[in-house]
Structure 1
C-alpha cells in the first residue's frame, strides 16, 4: 500500500514539472534579448522554416560576418600601433636661446705655427695634394710624429679674444670671453655661446636687435693652408646640452657682410616603444625615469652623440689614438697619424652604410631643432668706412672688408612649434569603434554581449544536466 502511494506522488510531481528542452532556452532568450532580429526568427520546431525566417537568418549571418570582418581589422590596426602627427604653434612669453658655436674657417694661427719648420709646407701638401689624390711622405720631425695635447692645439689656434670684437645680447654689451666657451670640434678650436644647460639663457622679445649681435674679425693674415679654402665663419645652432659636432643647423657668414640668421624653434616629441617614431625605427625615451645613458663619454644621450662615440672608439681601435675633439681618454694622434690613419678611417666610416646597425644607435624621442633663414647685406656701409676703420684699427678699407663681419642671430617670432606624435588608437577609441560596429551591424552593445555570454553559460549547464542524467532546469527564470 505504501509503495503505491509513493509511485503516485512521484508520478504527480513529474506531471506537475514541465519538460524543459533546449528550444525553450532559445525561446526565452529571443523574447528577452536586445539583439536585433532574433525575435523575427521562427522558434525551433519539427516544421520547416518559413521564407521570412530564412531571410532573417540570412540577414543575421551576413551582418555577423561583416561585424567579425570589421572587428578583426580594428584589432589588427590597434596592434599595429598607428600614430598621427599633431603640429601646434604656440606663442610664448620667453624662449630658451640655443647654443651658438662660432668657428673660424681656418682655426689654426699661421703666426704661431711659424715656430715649427716645414709646418706651412706640411699643411699645404696635406691640403692641395689630397685634392689631386697624390700622396707624400710625412716629415720625420718630432712635432709631426709625437702625440699632440689639447693644450698644443689651443696654443696653435686663433684666439677668441682677438676674433670676437664686440658682443651684444638683448641690447646689452657684454665681455665676449666671459660668455663664449672654447670648445674643441672637428673644425678645430671654436667658441660657443650658451653652452651650459644649467644656466641656459632665455629671450623675451624677437627681432634682429633683441637677440645676439656679434662683430667678428677672422684675421685672414693669420690663415694657413687647409683643405677648406673658404674665408669667414661657420655658425652652428644646437641644443646647449649637445656637442657642436652633433648640431643640425649650419650657417656660413662671409667677411664684408652683415649676416642675419632668423631662426625658429621646433620641438619634436615622438612615442617610444612599441610605437615606431620614424617610419620603421623606434626611439628611446630619454626623459623617462628608467632611462640609463648607455654612452661612456657624452653625458647627454642623442643619436648623433651615440654615433660619434661609436666611430671614435672604432677609430681608436684602428689607429691607437684619438682625435683632438674626442672626449675619451687616450693618446691623441700626431699630425702624421691623423692624416695617415685617423681622418681616412673616419671618412670611410661615414661612407659605410652598415655603421648605424653595428653601433646600434637609436634616436631620442624628444629633441629640438633650430631651422633658420639666412640673408646678408654689405658691411659696413660706405658712410661708416672711416668710423669703422678707427674702431677696428684696420690698415685700410680693403683689409677691413676682408676680415670683419657682423652676425645677428635671433628669433623671428616668439613662437615654438611642437610636432607631437600621438597614438591613433587608444583603449577608449578601440571600444568606441567596436561598439559602433556592433551597433551598426546587430544593434548590440556591451550588455548584449553579456546576454549572449549568459545564454552560452545556460546552454553549457543544460548539457551538463543532460549528461548527468538529471532533468534540465529553467535557470533563466529561476536564477
Structure 2
C-alpha cells in the first residue's frame, strides 16, 4: 500500500497536470488512451527540447554583448582642436656650429655631400671622394639598362645625368662608377655580384635617426635654445578675428622636430567655435628661417602641422602634414565624435588604469610607445631616446642598438602591447586648399606689415629685400571649421535584458504555450511539494522522539 506522502505528491502533480495552462502536458498525463499519452508526451518533449536549444542560442547572443552603432548629425557649437606647429628643421645651423664635436660632420654647405650616419652595424656602402665620405643614396634602385662596352658606359652615364642621379657628388671622373662597382664586362651582371640587404635601414633614414639621437644627448635647455624660437617662427597670429600671442601657445620639445608650439593645448584654455569659415579659426603667418636649415638632414622646407585633441600629446613624426613656404594653406575641418561603451561591450578605456610616460591624457599612441619603452628597458637594459625615459634608466647608445631595433620591429608586428582606443574620441578630417602667397599686389602691404613686427633686425632685412626671400621663408596657415555640423557615432547595447526576455517569451509561447502565469503555476506546484515533504519530515521526527507505541 503506497505511503500517504507519496499519495499527496502524486495528487499535487495530477492536480497540476489537470489545471496547468501549459499546452500538451495535460493531455500527455490525462488521456485515457495509452497511444495518445505516448504521442502527446513525444510532442511535448520535442517542443521542450527545441525551446531549450533556442534558449541556449538567445543566452549566447545576450552574453556576447553586441552593440549597435547610431550616427547622428546636429548643428552645434564645436570645441576647437589643438594645433601643433613644428619647423621641419629641428636645430638652427648657427647654433649647431657652436657645438662642434660629432655635429661637425653634419655642417656642410652642399646637400649632395651630406654627412654620413654614425658608423655602426647598419652602415651601408660608402664612397671616398675628394670631398670626403659621401653616402650613396641611390644604390638600390633597379635599372634594367645594363651598360655593355664603352658605348654602353657612355650611354649609361648620360642616363644617370638625365635622371638627376650622378654617380658621385663632386666627382669629375665618370669612370668612378666602374671603379667602385666593377666593370660589367669582367664581372658579369652587376646584380649577380652585389649583395643587397633590403631589410637594412635606408641610408637617409639612418642618417636622420642618428642625427636626432645626437641631439637628444643634449639637455633640454640646450635643445630649446638651439631650436627655432616662437618670436621668429610665428610672426602673426589671430583666432576668431582677435590677435593671439605666445601666451596662447605651449612649447613641446619633440624628439625629431625640436621646438614645437601648440595652440589651444589643453582643456583649461579650451576655445569653442560658433561660426564657420577662415575668419573664425586660427590664422598664422610663419617664418621658417631657411638660412638656418641643417643641409645634411633637412631636405624639405616648411612646417609640420598636427591637429589633435586638447590635452593629447602630438606625434608629428607619425601623424600630421607638411606646409611649404610661398603658399597660403587653408585647412577646413570636420569633426566626428566617437563614443564607445567599453566594459563588457568592447575594449576601450578612459586611460585611468593605463601606464603613461607622457605628461598628457591617454591615447593609443602614448600607450603603445610607453609599452615599447618598458619592454626595451626590460630586454635591452636601456631605453629609446625618442620616448620619455623612466627614472633611473639610461638611453641606448648611438647608432640604434641592435637589441633596440629588434624589439621595436617585434612590437610593431603587433600582439604584444595591449592598447585599446579611448572610449570618447574626436577625429578631425580636413579639406586642403593652396594659393600662391604673397600675391604681387600684396607685396607692398606685406613689407609695411613686416616692418612693424618685432623680429630680429637681420631677419627683417632679409625679408624686406625682395619677393624671393619672402616666398622662400614665409607661409600662411589657416585652420578652421568649414561647417558646424557635429557628427556623433555612439554605441548602444544591441541586445539588452528586455530583448532577451521578449525572445524567450516568444519561444515559450510558440512551442509550449507558456506565459508568466504558467511560471507562477509551476512555482505554486514547487511550494506545495516542499510543504508536503516538510510535513513528512516533521512527522518522522516526532515518531523517532516518542518511540513505538
TM-score, normalised relative to structure 1: 0.77
Secondary structure at 2:361 match in 1: coil
1:394–1:54 Cα change, 3 Å? farther
Could you give the per-residue CA deviations for residues 181-221 of structure 1, whole angstroms, max 9, x where no partner exists?
A: 21101221111111132222222212222111111111111
Find the partner of 1:67 among 27, 34, 51.
51
2:63 pairs with 1:79? yes
Q: What residue number does 2:424 align with?
A: 366
Q: What residue number does 1:351 align with?
A: 409
2:349 pairs with 1:284? yes
Could you give the per-residue CA deviations for residues 308-330 of structure 1, whole angstroms, max 9, x where no partner exists?
A: 23334555674757637736556
- The 8 Å contact of residues 326 and 472 in structure 2, kept in 1 or not, is answered as yes
- The 8 Å contact of residues 251 and 374 in structure 1, kept in 2 or not, is answered as no
1:106–1:252 Cα change, 3 Å? same
Find the partner of 1:384 among 439, 442, 445.
442
1:391-402 matches, cutoff 5 A = 391-392=449-450, 393-402=463-472
How many Å apart are 1:223 and its aligned residue? 0.9
**In structure 2, what is the Cα distance between the partners aligned to 1:229 and 1:458?**
89
2:239 pairs with 1:185? no
How many Å apart are 1:37 and its aligned residue? 3.7
Q: What residue number does 1:4 align with?
A: none
More off after superposition, 301-310 vs 314-323: 314-323
Q: What residue number does 1:159 align with?
A: 229
1:243–1:161 Cα change, 3 Å? same
2:116 pairs with 1:129? no
How many Å apart are 1:56 and its aligned residue? 4.3
How many Å apart are 1:74 and its aligned residue? 0.5
1:359–1:58 Cα change, 3 Å? closer
1:250-329 matches, cutoff 5 A = 250-276=320-346, 282-286=347-351, 291-295=352-356, 298-313=359-374, 318=380, 323=385, 326=388, 328-329=390-391
**In structure 2, what is the Cα distance between the partners aligned to 1:266 and 1:170?**
22
Q: What residue number does 2:34 align with?
A: 48
1:130–1:429 Cα change, 3 Å? farther
Give unmatched runs, 5+ long, in structure 1.
1-16, 138-142, 277-281, 471-479
**In structure 1, what is the Cα distance between the partners aligned to 2:79 and 2:344?**
31
TM-score, normalised relative to structure 2: 0.68
**In structure 1, what is the Cα distance between the partners aligned to 2:420 and 2:293?**
40
- The 8 Å contact of residues 249 and 369 in structure 1, kept in 2 or not, is answered as no
Q: What residue number does 1:452 align with?
A: 522
**In structure 2, what is the Cα distance between the partners aligned to 1:113 and 1:403?**
20
**In structure 2, what is the Cα distance between the partners aligned to 1:151 and 1:134?**
30
**In structure 2, what is the Cα distance between the partners aligned to 1:255 and 1:412?**
23
Query: Pairwise CA RMSD of aligned residues?
Result: 3.8
1:125-274 matches, cutoff 5 A = 125-126=115-116, 129=135, 147-175=217-245, 177-186=246-255, 187-245=257-315, 250-274=320-344
Secondary structure at 2:58 match in 1: helix
Secondary structure at 2:320 match in 1: strand
Find the partner of 2:78 among 77, 91, 95.
95
Q: What residue number does 1:112 align with?
A: 95
**In structure 2, what is the Cα distance between the partners aligned to 1:308 and 1:406?**
33
How many Å apart are 1:297 and its aligned residue? 5.0
- The 8 Å contact of residues 298 and 327 in structure 1, kept in 2 or not, is answered as no
Secondary structure at 1:34 match in 2: coil
- The 8 Å contact of residues 248 and 369 in structure 1, kept in 2 or not, is answered as no
Matched residues, number:
430
2:23 pairs with 1:33? no
1:83–1:162 Cα change, 3 Å? same
Secondary structure at 2:227 match in 1: coil
Give unmatched runs, 5+ long, in structure 2.
108-113, 118-133, 139-201, 208-212, 451-462, 541-549
How many Å apart are 1:165 and its aligned residue? 1.4
